[in-house]
């Protein structure tokens, strides 16, 4: 998890400075955690444009409500919660787009420039697989398995019990298993098969 | 999600317990591999255009906040009115930290992902209203003073009578 460099103010200090009127404090706070916040938004929305919209909405909301932060949780937890809620809210408003994958590879997010082929392929496969999950399961799995949050922290971020987090993660993993098992070489077709037959696809049920 | 499985997913009763335990262990192992694989996926990098866009939005918010603060600081009565209004909003959203954001998971209104009422620059109509109320407040002390003088004179008159 990103944190302040030696000599830089802590997250709480930046938030307090922002609440006191410092015009640059919140921008510094955002830049410090932008990577993880972007990862959360992108993995949950599974669309770069939606992720950008959700992250912007979340940061503006956090900017305006920073004065209400009581310090009962970490600043990063608070920020992640706002981003998760913004992402889920955006998916609710665009509920027709996010649940299933059409099977068209052009719908997948493009790899970042400069990435190696293996890293790009694995991320495309994961993004396609994550799209098949219901958003609440997707959010739990992203926070726990991909970003390394503990079950307790994830329950605080999502606002549900730890048992619910564990249940969502278990079910999400079970649903992802057939999508990702081929990457370990279990299928004779190898890495090229990204979608099982059960996923609806314009290409006739997957590769 | 409910725990109701389709009938064809039900395990046969004559399944051997040892085999069931082995299947359970195998399933757990495979699920653990999913976890390990997800953890190995590299994190996406924030696109520069997204970072710039959000930075510009935050800068605009900071400018709007500074302008609003300057506008309210220019008039003490307006600042008092705005302070009372902001306090009322703050009470509405309190406790406005973790628990309020927790409540927003149930479906906050559009445009407020954490369930809060978003504050922004007051619309022009409200500013006009505050100006009207400011003028009314300025004249109220005079009216009260006049009324007090009248009451004193009336009391003196009654006493003389």
Chain B residue with minimal CA distance to A116?
B42
Is residue B50 a contact partner of residue A55, using CB atoms and an 8 Å limit? Answer: yes
Beta carbons of B57 and A36 less than 8 Å apart: no
Q: What is the pLDDT of residues A67-89, one digit of tens each?
A: 888 888 899 999 999 999 999 99
First vs last Cα of chain A: how many Å apart?
37
Both tokens assigned to A193: 């098969």
Residue of B28, B50, B116 to mutate, interface with A, max A Cβ within 10 Å: B50
Q: What is the pLDDT of residues A111-161, one digit of tens each?
A: 444 444 455 565 567 888 888 899 999 999 999 999 999 999 999 999 999
Both tokens assigned to B25: 């262990």
Check residue A72 and give its pLDDT: 84
Cα B145 from chain centroid (whole Å):
43
Cα distance between residue A177 and residue A179, in whole Å: 5
Neighboring chain A residues of B103 at a CB cutoff of 8 Å: 159
Check residue B145 and give its pLDDT: 84
Q: Is A54 on the interface with B (CB under 8 A)?
A: yes
Is residue B58 a contact partner of residue A63, using CB atoms and an 8 Å limit? Answer: yes
- Tell me which residues of chain B have a pLDDT lower than 70: 1-21, 23, 74-138
Question: What interface predicted TM-score (ipTM) does this complex get?
Answer: 0.71
Q: Which of B157, B86, B76 is nearest to B121 (CA)?
A: B86
Q: How many CB contacts within 8 angstroms connect chain A with chain B? A: 170
Is residue B90 a contact partner of residue A68, using CB atoms and an 8 Å limit? Answer: yes
> CA A187, A189, A191 angle in degrees (round to 5)?
85
Check residue B36 and give its pLDDT: 87
Is residue A39 a contact partner of residue A143, using CB atoms and an 8 Å limit? Answer: no
Cα distance between residue A184 and residue B44, in whole Å: 22
Q: Tell me the residues of chain A between 83 and 122 that have a Cβ less than 8 Å away from chain B.
A: 85-86, 88-89, 92-93, 112, 115, 119, 122
Report the pLDDT averaged over residues A13-25: 91
Beta carbons of B101 and A145 less than 8 Å apart: no
- Residue B97 is classified by DSSP as S
- Residue A146 is classified by DSSP as I
Check residue A200 and give its pLDDT: 43
């Amino acid at each position: 998890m990103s944190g302040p460099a030696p000599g830089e103010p802590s997250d709480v200090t930046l938030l307090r400075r922002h609440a006191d009127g410092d015009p640059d404090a919140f921008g510094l706070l955002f830049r410090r955690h932008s990577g993880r916040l972007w990862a959360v938004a992108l993995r949950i929305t599974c669309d770069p444009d939606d992720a950008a919209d959700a992250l912007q909405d979340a940061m503006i909301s956090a900017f305006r409500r920073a004065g209400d932060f009581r310090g009962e949780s970490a600043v990063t937890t608070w920020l992640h919660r706002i981003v998760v809620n913004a992402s889920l809210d955006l998916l609710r408003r665009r509920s027709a787009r996010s649940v299933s994958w059409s099977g068209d590879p052009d719908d997948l997010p493009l790899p970042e420039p400069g990435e190696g082929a293996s890293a790009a392929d694995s991320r495309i496969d994961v993004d396609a697989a994550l799209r098949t999950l219901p958003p609440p399961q997707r959010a739990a799995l992203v926070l726990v398995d991909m970003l390394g949050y503990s079950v307790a922290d994830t329950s605080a971020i999502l606002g549900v019990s730890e048992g619910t987090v564990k249940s969502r993660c278990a079910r999400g993993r079970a649903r992802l298993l057939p999508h990702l098992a081929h990457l370990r070489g279990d299928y004779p077709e190898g890495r090229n098969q990204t979608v099982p037959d059960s996923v609806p696809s314009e290409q006739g049920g997957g590769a | 999600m409910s725990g109701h499985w389709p009938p064809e997913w039900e395990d046969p009763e004559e399944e051997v317990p040892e085999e069931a335990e082995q299947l359970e262990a195998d399933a757990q192992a495979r699920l653990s591999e999913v976890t390990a694989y997800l953890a190995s996926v590299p994190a996406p990098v924030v696109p520069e255009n997204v970072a710039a866009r959000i930075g510009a939005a935050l800068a605009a918010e900071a400018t709007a906040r500074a302008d609003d603060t300057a506008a309210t600081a220019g008039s003490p009565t307006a600042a008092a009115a705005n302070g009372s209004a902001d306090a009322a909003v703050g009470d509405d959203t309190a406790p406005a930290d973790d628990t309020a954001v927790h409540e927003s998971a149930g479906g906050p209104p559009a445009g407020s992902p954490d369930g809060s009422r978003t504050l922004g620059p007051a619309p022009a109509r409200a500013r006009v209203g505050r100006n009207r109320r400011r003028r009314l407040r300025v004249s109220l002390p005079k009216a009260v003073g006049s009324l007090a003088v009248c009451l004193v004179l009336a009391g003196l008159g009654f006493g003389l009578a």
